[in-house]
Structure 1
Amino acid sequence: METWKRPRKPPACDPCKVRRVLCHPQPGGAPCPRCLEKGFICTTTAVPRGRPRKHPVQPASGRPHQTTPPLVLHPLPNFASSAPCPELSPEFVAHCFEGLTFNALYQHPLIMATSIRSELHAVSFQINLLPPQSRVLALCSVAFGSLCAFHESVLGDGPRPDSFLDPVFFSSSPDLLSCGVRRAAACQALRSEALKAAWKVGIILLASHENAASCYLLDLMDQTHEIASAGRPWATAYIAHMRSLAVWRTPPEVPWAPSSSGFLWIAYLMCDCLISARSRTPPLVTAQDQLLLCGPEPPLETLLATLEQSMNNPDVSLLWTSTKTYMFHITTIARELVEKITGDVPRDRPLSQIAVLSFLESLSKIYSILTLLLDLVDALTAVPVISPPAVLDGAQIDVLAVTAAFGACFGFSGIVLPFYRELQHRDAEAREGAPTRERLQAHHMAVLAAREMARGIRYVPKIHYSPVHWETIRSWAEWAAEEADLAGGTISPEEARDLETLADELKLLGYSLDAASAPETVALIARMEGHVNRTIASLFLPPDDGSHLNEGAVSLQK
């Protein structure tokens, strides 16, 4: 009589292993339920079991028996989606590309070096008629554009804006967060289609304009995902292609034009380094990359002296060249932050006081330069808030100023918070009762950075699309809410205004991303709005006629 043996459970897939959660492997190479729901690539890496033989068996001849090891066949990534992909009709594709006009991240030099728009127009937006590499780029563009699309194929039934710049919907509609929830399944399905095509064509293996741009867009979409891959394979490929195709460099026609390759390259390289700083992962952008694509820049001391001497004669070219130098140094400092303070290697060692003091000194210089740059923006635009449209295809002074102001604020804020959180983490590990002097200095910088982050958001038009910045904005919103909690709910009108700005930005980002499905996000927005409402209520004068607000309340409303 044969003894029944329980069948061995298949091994857990790689994403479930990384997250340390229970996996339910499916037969036939199908993705597990968790990967299917989250849209992860469900792969399983075979792990050899048992101990290796200490003394390998020798053949009778006494000579080592040379055999070819068996080939381990890894299953191809599964890009299945829990929802059907929207029909890629010419009308839907054209709609998504129209939305990309308002997304500054799509103005990357990699994408501008392609002819994807003219190719699509030539085939009347029929993606299936494009060559393979262009077809992949078009699919990646549509998937990225679906994050701001309001087409019925994406949002289904329900309230939606009438245009990409619908002032009524984006300023007063209570349905912003519901849009992100409704679009999630369709966006995931479109991303899966882009991944399938990218894998089939092998865009990682061949450097070309189209493949580099597709890798860039796939990495951007990873940053909006619930859990981005720590290795960032698409970003690694995009950087490798970028280096191979560095012959794109052309001298700019005028130093402040939006087409200036040096300015645009350093802006996008800065964003990439800020992602590494935020996630404490090794930077992909090297110092050689900066020099190759942007050229050398003067030191911070020279930039600060130049700005101080030129403030009486504001000029847009000064703003553009100064912002380029500023972002160049932000990129360098962000890389040093990971390599010397927050990365895995420095975390295994005692905190370097020299590195911390040097970083604080750099932050002080950067903040001084940021203050002068924003004063220059205000002098050039006369009013701090620029009205739509925010299309970055032209060289209007107001668009240049908005781009420079937001980039400068975002860069400074992007390196301050990871630094402060690391010192906070170190103090908690050391179980020190009082914060160290360096942490107090970092906290002061974080207070300034939170204010500048909110100020930078107020510079841009009310309607803008930047879903990739979700994690950064959410981190600053949590920090600002913590500070308001520690203050016992008693905050100044300026602090309340900044809280309101960050809360509104989270809701605007929730139009593109599925933020409302996370209870903690909804609770965070409510918490921030609670502090704002209490501050407004406290600014009412004692009731004499019951109809007046003091000056602080009026300024907060503005």
Structure 2
Amino acid sequence: MLRRDVLRDALSLTSWQIHLLPPQLKVLAHCVVALSASISFDHAIIGPGAKPVSLGDRSVFTRGADLREYGVRREPMYRALCAEALRLASDVGVLLEPSEDNAVSCFMLQFLENARDTRSRPFAGEEQMVSQNATIWSGFLLMEALETTLHRQPILVSHHDQLLITGRDPLSLQNLFVSLQSAMQEKKEQPLIPFTAMRSYFFHVTRLARDLYEKITGDFARRHPLDEGSITEFISSLNHLHSIRSLIFDREDDNYPGDSLFFPSGFFQKRGLHLNLCSCAYVMTFSPTTLVLGLHRELVRRAAISSSSSPAIGPAAADQWAADRLALLRRQVSEMADLTLGEIARGLRTMPSLPHIAHVHRDNVAAWADFCLEEADAAGSVSPERAATIETISEALKLIGYSWPLPSGLVERLDAYVDTHRLLGSLPPAFSEDSMFLDMFLAPLDNNWVSMFTVPPENEAFPAQGRYL
């Protein structure tokens, strides 16, 4: 994690007494404590009652486990720790003084903030403060942009904010794909290829989130006729993102023959690199799904308005053509959403660890659960394949419930559609026996979910940032 060594050394010098830390590090330490409370199994956090022996306790963390009671039990203490971190940050004034410690605190405070309506910028650093961790900071900005996209709020990350971190614009998506394709064909430094692509990938997804709000889903865009050209261009960009991810990860056995880095024979010797590669695949899979869902929601809303405002006598020819084009776009995006849902299920079945889903994509998974329910309620039933996908999402939500309380009745509504097919015996298995879903907490576990953006530092063969494409 950013500033981890600095914070650890400072705590060591003060005999691990947080109140003796310098003000900025003290705020950062309280943010870390609050965030750690979302995964802790200590009785001081989750209260009295049954608890896991460790994060590797197979009697608790297993396939199909319903961990929602832990999220409910931990909420009071988690809220109290968040409130203390926010109070201390306000007293110290971390928003007013640029530093890397304050930048990390601001991001974590953004994550911890209960009320998502009032959103502040996710960082307060200067260029020289973030240049050494540009990929990680790009990932932080991506998480902020995706969170606001889910809630259809203005994207606070500007293009200049991104350039402040990266220093320059990356290759276009089309040129990035061509460059990666050439690198894959040359078969040189292939394990490094995903890491060289991540910063550019983050940059483009963040840019597309901003374009989605400003041109399609935002308040200004909604006051004007649908910009079909922007939607067509946006869909094309989504297809490029999908092509890049597929190029790198869909055929890992061919791309990484022999002792595959995705399924290495000496797994524990290469565990750090293996999990980071899985994390790259996981983030590349999930990041565009928020954009797809945002576009789908807007087209559904526009179609509903169009159908309700049609004149009784009959629409004019121009209006009818516009309605037909909207229907075509909606069908196209609906098909894309269905395919995306399948990729989400596949990604959930191979998640690198619980923190990846519970802390990075929990709102995204819940939003897609709502999508499943809307589609199922409208149709009145679901196919066996869709029921299997719904079961995967339901089981993922039950795991997310270990850290956070879930909306009331959400899991039960999902399970109702799953149970119908389970009773009929038509439900395919949700998870294979070799799924990492069954082995999310391989010891030793450092819970460092931020490391998903970099190669493990102990692996000298691969520099932490790689080339910037």
- Tell me the TM-score range normalised by the shorter chain: 0.7 to 0.9
8 Å contact from structure 1 (residues 385, 458) kept in 2: no
In structure 2, C-alpha distance between the alignment counterparts of 1:452 and 1:134, rounded to whole Å: 40
8 Å contact from structure 1 (residues 489, 531) kept in 2: no
For the pair 1:248 / 2:136, whether they are aligned, the reply is no
For the pair 1:297 / 2:170, whether they are aligned, the reply is yes
Question: Given the alignment, which residue of 200, 224, 228 partners 1:349?
Answer: 224
Matched residue, 1:405? 281
User: 2:102 aligns to what SS in structure 1?
Assistant: helix
Question: Given the alignment, which residue of 432, 457, 479 partners 2:371?
Answer: 479
For the pair 1:521 / 2:410, whether they are aligned, the reply is yes
Report the Cα offset of residue 286 of structure 1. Answer: 1.4
User: 1:168 aligns to what SS in structure 2?
Assistant: coil
For the pair 1:444 / 2:340, whether they are aligned, the reply is no
8 Å contact from structure 1 (residues 319, 376) kept in 2: no
In structure 2, C-alpha distance between the alignment counterparts of 1:229 and 1:512, rounded to whole Å: 18
Structure 1 residues 56-91: Cα deviation after superposition (integer angstroms, max 9, x where no partner): xxxxxxxxxxxxxxxxxxxxxxxxxxxxxxxxxxxx
For the pair 1:277 / 2:184, whether they are aligned, the reply is no
User: Structure 1 residues 172 and 278 mapped into 2: Cα distance closer, same or farther (>3 Å)?
Assistant: closer
Structure 1 residues 190-238: Cα deviation after superposition (integer angstroms, max 9, x where no partner): 111112211221222222222222221111012xx4xx332313xx2x4
**Across the two proteins, how many residue pairs are aligned to each other?**
409
Matched residue, 1:157? 48
Report the Cα offset of residue 354 of structure 1. Answer: 1.4
Question: Given the alignment, which residue of 315, 339, 347 partners 2:214?
Answer: 339
User: Structure 1 residues 462 and 116 mapped into 2: Cα distance closer, same or farther (>3 Å)?
Assistant: closer
User: 2:194 aligns to what SS in structure 1?
Assistant: helix
Q: Which amino acid letter does the alignment assign opposite residue 491 of structure 1?
A: S
Q: Which amino acid letter does the alignment assign opposite residue 192 of structure 1?
A: A
In structure 2, C-alpha distance between the alignment counterparts of 1:121 and 1:532, rounded to whole Å: 56
Q: Which amino acid letter does the alignment assign opposite residue 538 of structure 1?
A: S
Question: Given the alignment, which residue of 116, 129, 142 partners 2:20?
Answer: 129
In structure 1, C-alpha distance between the alignment counterparts of 2:206 and 2:264, rounded to whole Å: 27
User: Structure 1 residues 120 and 556 mapped into 2: Cα distance closer, same or farther (>3 Å)?
Assistant: closer
Q: Which amino acid letter does the alignment assign opposite residue 319 of structure 1?
A: P
Structure 1 residues 222-281: Cα deviation after superposition (integer angstroms, max 9, x where no partner): 2xx4xx332313xx2x43x12xx2212456xxxxxxxxx232222222212112221222
Q: Which amino acid letter does the alignment assign opposite residue 150 of structure 2?
A: R
User: Structure 1 residues 377 and 557 mapped into 2: Cα distance closer, same or farther (>3 Å)?
Assistant: closer
Report the Cα offset of residue 440 of structure 1. Answer: 0.7
Structure 1 residues 105-129: Cα deviation after superposition (integer angstroms, max 9, x where no partner): xx3x4x45x7112212222322112
User: Structure 1 residues 320 and 180 mapped into 2: Cα distance closer, same or farther (>3 Å)?
Assistant: same
In structure 2, C-alpha distance between the alignment counterparts of 1:246 and 1:337, rounded to whole Å: 27
Report the Cα offset of residue 153 of structure 1. Answer: 0.8
For the pair 1:268 / 2:140, whether they are aligned, the reply is yes
Q: What are the equivalent positions in structure 2 for 1:21-100 lying under 5 Å apart?
A: none
Matched residue, 2:296? 420
TM-score, normalised by the number of residues in structure 2: 0.79
8 Å contact from structure 2 (residues 390, 414) kept in 1: no
8 Å contact from structure 2 (residues 261, 274) kept in 1: no
Question: Given the alignment, which residue of 175, 184, 200 partners 1:325?
Answer: 200
8 Å contact from structure 1 (residues 273, 285) kept in 2: yes
> Structure 1: which 5+ runs fail to align?
1-106, 252-260, 540-552
In structure 1, C-alpha distance between the alignment counterparts of 2:431 and 2:62, rounded to whole Å: 17
User: 2:169 aligns to what SS in structure 1?
Assistant: coil
Q: Which amino acid letter does the alignment assign opposite residue 300 of structure 1?
A: L
8 Å contact from structure 1 (residues 311, 376) kept in 2: no
Q: Which amino acid letter does the alignment assign opposite residue 425 of structure 1?
A: R
For the pair 1:167 / 2:58, whether they are aligned, the reply is yes
Give the share of equivalent positions with the same residue, in percent. Answer: 32
User: Structure 1 residues 482 and 384 mapped into 2: Cα distance closer, same or farther (>3 Å)?
Assistant: farther
User: Structure 1 residues 353 and 373 mapped into 2: Cα distance closer, same or farther (>3 Å)?
Assistant: same
Q: Which amino acid letter does the alignment assign opposite residue 406 of structure 1?
A: Y
User: 1:206 aligns to what SS in structure 2?
Assistant: coil
For the pair 1:429 / 2:305, whether they are aligned, the reply is yes
User: Structure 1 residues 126 and 372 mapped into 2: Cα distance closer, same or farther (>3 Å)?
Assistant: same
Q: Which amino acid letter does the alignment assign opposite residue 508 of structure 1?
A: L
Matched residue, 2:118? 231
User: Structure 1 residues 196 and 263 mapped into 2: Cα distance closer, same or farther (>3 Å)?
Assistant: closer
In structure 2, C-alpha distance between the alignment counterparts of 1:174 and 1:300, rounded to whole Å: 40
8 Å contact from structure 2 (residues 31, 105) kept in 1: yes
Report the Cα offset of residue 525 of structure 1. Answer: 4.0
In structure 2, C-alpha distance between the alignment counterparts of 1:372 and 1:353, rounded to whole Å: 29
Report the Cα offset of residue 492 of structure 1. Answer: 4.0
Question: Given the alignment, which residue of 209, 221, 228 partners 2:112?
Answer: 221
Matched residue, 2:359? 467
In structure 1, C-alpha distance between the alignment counterparts of 2:35 and 2:252, rounded to whole Å: 31
User: Structure 1 residues 262 and 215 mapped into 2: Cα distance closer, same or farther (>3 Å)?
Assistant: closer
TM-score, normalised by the number of residues in structure 1: 0.67
User: Structure 1 residues 527 and 311 mapped into 2: Cα distance closer, same or farther (>3 Å)?
Assistant: farther
Report the Cα offset of residue 416 of structure 1. Answer: 0.5
Q: Which amino acid letter does the alignment assign opposite residue 139 of structure 2?
A: A
